[in-house]
Copies of this chain bind each other. A is one copy, B any other.
Amino acid sequence: MQAKYVPSAEIENRISRLQNQLIEAKIDAALIIYKMDLFYFSGTAQNASLFVPAEGKPLLMVVRDIDRARKESPLPEVAPLDSVLGIPDLVQEQYGRIPHRIGLELDVVPVRDYLRYQRIFPKAKIVDSAGIIKKLRMIKSFYEVAQMKRAGEIGKIVYEKGRDILREGMSEIEFGGWLELEAKKLEHEGLLRVRSLNYEAYTWHVLSGPSGSIVSQAESPMGGAGLSPAFPVGAGTRKIQAHEPVLVDFGICYNGYIVDQTRIYCIGDLPEKYVKAYEASCKIEELVLDGARPGASAAAIFEKTVQYAKELGYDESYLGIPGRKTTFVAHGVGLEINEIPFIAKGQNVFLEDHTTIAIEPKMVFSGEGAVGIENTVLITDNGVEKLTTCSEEILQI
């Protein structure tokens, strides 16, 4: 476990970058209460709040468990906290006064909590610090990339094991369960975190044959049947057949960091139609890999993929069935599965050095099935590196 602690230099660097941004945005202090932001800036995911003044020392205030937080976080100043009500006194002591403008993650903090913070800081103006934090978290350090590489290695082993496991007549959900078991043995952490009220991520996205063209709630080319209207996404009870594509979109989380990837299994030969569509998918991925350079426009890359899919003859199936297409081909990934940047329609942003994205050009044939490739890659000034390293052949059984 020792090896999994976030290094002190990482935390210092992250805090210092946050402080620069706070100064620039004229925010006196950020109060970090959202778990994955807390983990990013403190190294612990215990029940705690982190006070980061634009200038001065941060203070980690811990409800439970303080001994563990002290071990996990390299931050020098850690204080026990009974409840949110105790925050102003601790802040006053640390900072010498109550900040005027306090940043809070307003994209995720519920209204009720926000009102409580307003009550305990009646004279302060609470502003949204989520944008700043998301941009900082977008840029990945070498340490973070190393965690993601390990997640990628786990994925490589798990997908390979899948070939020994998948048999005709096995249900999608059972196959998903087996893959999860193999991943857990290698310390996959099970949960894929999402920054959203209603969107849920999960690892058992196993879609066989026609399941691949079932649309659902998520902004994804394929939703899957799921197990019930209460959980209407991903693997269902359908029995997997021979000679049909089995699309497995399986996120792995190692030490908090996620990689996202998709591969296609098939029992026996995969019909030519799907093989060709899979090849087209890989070609579109190549196009994104070629274009994904710091400074490149996300919207422009997206439009190029749409154009290319058309040229390749996949206008109808690219990114979903007609009328239900998604409008992104890549999403940021790190501690969460839906980080920035998105390579998507109308995204007028420019890619940056040391960002990590999952590229997933997928093809869906209405009522028949889906195929596609997905890799998580690191974008740098020196080129693009794949962090998901499992074989890109169709995984035939």
Q: Which A residues lie at the B interface, using CB under 8 A?
A: 1, 4-6, 33-35, 39, 43-47, 64-65, 67-68, 72, 104, 106-114, 128, 130, 171, 173-174, 176-178, 180-185, 187, 189-191, 197-198, 200, 202, 204, 215-219, 223, 225-232, 236-237, 253-257, 324, 335
**B215 and A68 contact, CB distance less than 8 A:** yes
Indicate which residue in B44, B46, B228, B236 contacts A256 across the interface (CB closer than 8 Å): B228
In the complex, which residue of chain B has the Cβ closest to the Cβ of A65?
Answer: B215
**A216 and B110 contact, CB distance less than 8 A:** no
Most chain B CB atoms below 10 A, which of A112, A229, A257: A229
Q: Say what secondary structure dominates the interface of chain A.
A: loop
Q: Which residues of B contact A114 (CB under 8 A)?
A: 111
How far is the CB of A14 from the nearest CB of chain B, in Å?
14
Given the interface pairs A198-B47, A215-B65, the reply to whether A39 lies near B111 with Cβ below 8 Å is no
28 A-B residue pairs with CB within 8 Å = A1-B236, A4-B230, A6-B229, A33-B197, A35-B198, A45-B231, A45-B232, A46-B217, A47-B198, A47-B217, A47-B218, A64-B218, A65-B217, A68-B215, A68-B232, A104-B111, A106-B112, A109-B110, A111-B114, A112-B130, A174-B184, A174-B185, A181-B181, A189-B227, A189-B228, A189-B231, A228-B254, A231-B256
Indicate which residue in B47, B72, B106, B190 contacts A111 across the interface (CB closer than 8 Å): B106
In the complex, which residue of chain B has the Cβ closest to the Cβ of A5?
Answer: B229
How far is the CB of A110 from the nearest CB of chain B, in Å?
5
How far is the CB of A216 from the nearest CB of chain B, in Å?
6
In the complex, which residue of chain B has the Cβ closest to the Cβ of A170?
Answer: B185
Indicate which residue in B39, B191, B216, B228 contacts A65 across the interface (CB closer than 8 Å): B216
Indicate which residue in B4, B113, B219, B231 contacts A190 across the interface (CB closer than 8 Å): B231
